[in-house]
């Protein structure tokens, strides 16, 4: 297997209920890629033998999270890190229950791949449908449907093929099959079949193992050309009277959210529409000729332009129209319900605007995926909402650009984040 994405980072998430073997899957991945510290391994070996188990119970590696569940503490997403010789990984371990929908949406928003676990004995469940819908909603481009616990159905190919057919039928219903790259594989997390090593129990499956799939998934932002988007975070005007070079220095600092930029490129500053060219790109004290997605840099322009935090620099050939009304899928995060009478703050990249709710078109029942009429939103609800804005925002649809297509909703009085939105 050749890895085309050496040293690139892959963020992925695991979705599954407590009994689907999620903890064992993560534990097995860490164990088989030899990324467990020796003392941790000897600890779980000791605990496993105390419990009378012959083999090491790899689910103990995620016991911290299970202890939180048992004690009823607020569940948050657990992140785990591992690396192979060729790639680094961040696993977001999201709780699967319906009451933790908001946590799953948070974890999924940065993931580039989702592993949806299905218990081979139980097939496609309501929970599978909910996880798949949420993965589709937040724009995860790659889905791996892992049919786990194949050892408990005697590694039967017929069982696997039936689950695969059921899932494809459901995925076609919600538009997931058409819009996303979906791969299927049978595995046994407990025994390690098809995770890192193939083993000999499923010779009928000729596809890639889970680790081979993870190694070969394209890195974020690498699959299609993206428009250059640079929200200005800070205007740098050094006040150093002793250094004449800095008297007229005016740098625009921020992060390249998508696309790339080079010295000499024609740019437009939004929302005011001023045009200029890139004179220099700086990274600390270093001069760059170009900057790529996710680099934090300082841009210097050839002309003196009135620009402040919250403005967006784009290439002149890729200008977008600032808007004062947006429509979005919103996941409500707050225990206080959304009120259409209130004013909220929408924070989009580095820009904020006061906003009123225009309308709530419908909310989605995440179990049946049915669209329902509603007048308000409660915690974990997902709905299609339109907002009227006091200030113009420079937005892309979330499908095209996850950075400039996303925003959060803030409560004016408490300053709490109460909603997360994905622009349609």
**Smallest Cα–Cα separation from 299: which of 242, 261, 329, 335?**
261
Q: What is the full DSSP assignment across 47-107?
A: HHHHTT-SS--GGGGGHHHHHHHHHTPPP--EEEEEE-SS-EEEEEE---SGGGHHHHHHH
- State the Cα torsion 411-15-112-347 to the nearest 10°: 0
Q: What does the pLDDT look like over 327-337, one tens digit per residue?
A: 999 999 999 99
pLDDT of residue 221: 76
pLDDT at residue 413 tops 60 = yes
- Rounded CA-CA distance 229/223 in Å is 17
| Whole-prediction pTM | 0.86
pLDDT of residue 347: 98
Average pLDDT, the chain: 89
Residue 310 tokens read as 């919250």
- Rounded CA-CA distance 139/137 in Å is 5
* Residue 44: partners with Cβ closer than 8 Å, 6 or more residues away: 56, 57, 58, 60, 61
pLDDT at residue 17 tops 80 = no
Strand pairing category for 261-262 and 290-291? antiparallel
Q: In the structure, what pLDDT confidence band is assigned to residue 175 with cuts at 50, 70 and 90?
A: confident
CB 418 within 8 A of CB 344: yes
Could you give the percent of the chain with pLDDT greater than 90?
63
Exposed/middle/buried for 71, CB within 10 Å: 0-12, 13-18, 19+?
Answer: exposed
Residue 82 tokens read as 């591992």
Q: What does the pLDDT look like over 123-162, one tens digit per residue?
A: 998 889 889 999 999 989 999 999 999 999 999 999 999 9
The stretch 347-375 carries a mean pLDDT of 94
Per-range mean pLDDT, top range of 24-33, 72-81, 149-158, 367-376: 149-158
Q: What does the pLDDT look like over 260-315, one tens digit per residue?
A: 999 999 999 999 999 999 999 999 889 999 999 999 999 999 999 999 999 999 99
């Amino acid at each position: 297997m050749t890895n085309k994405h050496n040293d690139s980072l892959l963020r992925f998430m695991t979705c599954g209920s407590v009994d689907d073997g999620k903890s064992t899957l993560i534990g097995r991945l860490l164990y088989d890629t030899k990324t467990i510290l020796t003392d941790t391994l000897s600890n779980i070996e000791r605990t496993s033998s105390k419990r009378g188990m012959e083999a090491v119970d790899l689910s103990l590696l995620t016991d911290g999270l299970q202890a939180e569940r048992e004690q009823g503490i607020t569940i948050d997403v657990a992140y785990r890190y591992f690396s192979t010789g060729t790639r680094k990984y961040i696993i977001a371990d999201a709780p699967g229950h319906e009451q933790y929908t908001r946590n799953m949406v948070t974890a999924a928003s940065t993931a580039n791949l989702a592993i949806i676990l299905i218990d081979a004995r139980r097939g496609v469940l309501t929970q599978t449908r909910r996880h798949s819908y949420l993965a589709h909603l937040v724009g995860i481009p790659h889905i791996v449907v892992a049919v786990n616990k194949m050892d408990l159905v005697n590694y039967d190919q017929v069982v696997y093929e039936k689950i695969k057919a059921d899932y494809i039928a459901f995925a076609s219903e919600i538009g997931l099959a058409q819009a996303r790259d979906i791969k299927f594989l049978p595995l046994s997390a407990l025994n390690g079949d098809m995770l890192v090593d193939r083993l000999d129990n499923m010779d009928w499956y000729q596809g890639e193992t889970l680790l081979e799939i993870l190694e070969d998934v394209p890195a974020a932002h690498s699959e299609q050309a993206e428009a250059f988007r640079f929200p200005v975070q800070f205007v740098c005007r050094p006040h150093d009277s002793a250094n004449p070079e800095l008297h007229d220095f005016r740098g625009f600092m921020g992060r390249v959210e998508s696309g790339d930029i080079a010295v000499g490129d024609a740019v437009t500053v939004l929302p005011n529409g001023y045009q200029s060219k890139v004179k220099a790109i700086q990274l600390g004290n270093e001069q760059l000729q170009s900057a790529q997605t996710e680099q934090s840099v300082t841009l210097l322009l050839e002309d003196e332009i009135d620009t402040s935090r919250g403005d967006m620099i784009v290439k002149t050939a890729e200008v977008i129209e600032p808007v004062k009304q947006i429509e979005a899928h919103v996941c409500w995060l707050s225990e206080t319900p959304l009120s259409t009478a209130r004013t909220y703050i929408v924070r989009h990249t580095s820009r904020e605007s006061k906003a009123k709710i225009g309308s709530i078109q419908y909310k989605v029942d995440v179990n049946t995926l049915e669209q329902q009429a509603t007048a308000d939103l409660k915690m974990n609800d997902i709905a299609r909402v339109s907002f009227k804005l006091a200030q113009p925002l420079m937005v892309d649809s979330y499908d095209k650009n996850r950075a400039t297509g996303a925003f959060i909703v803030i409560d004016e009085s408490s300053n709490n984040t109460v909603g997360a939105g994905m622009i349609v």
